[in-house]
Chain A
Amino acid sequence: MSAADYLLPYDFSPLTILAYILVLGLFSYGLFRMPAAERPGSGRIFTFTLGVLLCYLVMQTRFDYYSQYMFFVHRGQHLILHHLGPILIALSNPLPVMQFLYRQIPRIALPFLAPIGWAYRVLQQPVIASLLFFGLIYFWLWPSIHFDAMLSRDLYWVMNWSMLLDGLLFWWLIFDPRSPTTSDALGYGKRMLCLAVVAVPQMILGAYIVFARGMVYDVYEVCGRAWPMPPDMDQLLGGLLTWIPPAMMSIFGILIILRRAMRADTNGAADSDSRSKPHPAPQSP
């Protein structure tokens, strides 16, 4: 197989390609047009692009093929769509670009966008966001639902997109660059609590898959694997990927938030003056 075969989509999805072009296009447009003072540095631009490209790679290259026919690769795909990609995107703090783009929207269109704002605010309630975050993992890994999702092309796309969108929402809530003292962003303690809360069910599920005696997900057996591999080995690796890296990412997230909280503490006196400012400068991660 040639290199092009590895880079071309296994299951071509015009909507997905369009969405990625739109995101990268709008991001670049914002970067070039916004005032230089607000523009994120090259490190942040790189992190954002890396996050977006990682998600694209697992959705629209040969990687997707292996994700469809190997359980452990599928877990790796969701690790990127639900964790790593959104984490990079959120940590890159694209807020100034988003704020600039928001200001470009004609006033007349704003009322039509209001429902999106309402839905966003509901989904970003910490309890709902946490439940949705691990609930979605449980939902798509529910054996009978997982079976259907791997059999139906439509369900498969719904699954991957829902994981990506939920990942973006959750990690944006956690790594919101705005300070909770000067904005309505979630408090640091609550953010850490959310991270701890979502880690536990993921660890339980991962451990359950690792230690399961029988086949939990027989769809890969039924539909054939990408290459001959013992089914229990595939399941074991998939279980480990569900268990260990997400738990590590929760800890990593807690450490980042802890650092921010400590910084905010030491700068507390200085920050208390900025409370009166209407638009606090977004803090870089």
Chain B
Amino acid sequence: MTSRNPLTVTHLFALLALVLLAGCSSDQQNWNAKSISGLMPELSYQLTDTTGNTATAEDNKGNIRLMFFGFTSCPDICPTTLQKLSAVVNDLPEPARKDVKIIFVSVDPQRDTPERIKSYVEFFGDDIIGLTGSEKNLRELSKRYRTTFGYEAPDEKGNYDVSHSGAVYVFDRKGEARLLVRPGQSLEALTADITALANEDA
């Protein structure tokens, strides 16, 4: 058998990966979050808002949207994330601030009634959009963004844990999926990203 330098193949794969990734994103900006341009479809959902009415992505068309999945009984990641997102939006300069909307989607419709979600999101900020829906619609939305959620078996008090995405999905004014913010992202890094996005096509 002829001996072949394995490095060349590693290089080939690296090159292939680069081509693949370059084809996926047209972003020139150095984002702190993960750029998901081209990897995911534009924002679309049909859910229920905190007043009990149907809500769709058309309602906040033209806004930059930060979408997050969670549930109100969530012990750590949901409150931390909502707090962080709220702080980011409050730090933005005035014109951009109105443009950025936080969307909290509860994936625990059994416990999270619209009223409960309303008081929950109002605790973190005035402008946060709280949504939930039938499990079918929630499954559809989560599938669209390649995420999921699951329920633990309830304990004797009826409490149960819910596994859900820890990421924030960022959509630009056109509704295109742009960034995926990992749970560990710092406040400064996130603020920089959202500011850049707000300035991009203001």
Contacts and interface: CB of A to CB of B under 8 A. Distances in A.
Interface string A27-53: 000000000000000000000000000
B17 interface: yes
B148 A223 contact: yes
Interface in B1-48: 1-2, 4, 6, 9, 13, 16-17, 20-21, 24, 34, 36, 38-40
B24 A225 contact: no
B9 A223 contact: no
Given A127-B4, A148-B24, A193-B1, A222 B180 contact: yes
Contact of A151 (B40, B148, B182): B40
Nearest to B167: A222
B146 interface: yes
Interface stretch (B114-122, B126-134, B158-166): B158-166
Contacts of B69: 224
B183 A221 contact: yes
Tier of interface size on chain A: 20 to 34
Contacts of B151: 227
Interface string B164-201: 11110000000000001011000000000000000000
A135 B150 contact: no
B34 A224 contact: no
B34 A142 contact: no
A127 B3 CA distance: 8
A147 B167 CA distance: 13
A89 interface: no
Interface of A: 10-11, 65, 68-69, 126-127, 131, 135, 138-139, 142, 144-145, 147-148, 150-153, 155-156, 190, 193, 218, 221-229
12 contacts: A139-B17, A144-B21, A145-B17, A152-B24, A221-B183, A222-B165, A222-B183, A223-B146, A224-B147, A225-B148, A228-B163, A229-B163
Interface of B: 1-2, 4, 6, 9, 13, 16-17, 20-21, 24, 34, 36, 38-40, 69, 142-143, 146-152, 161-167, 180, 182-183
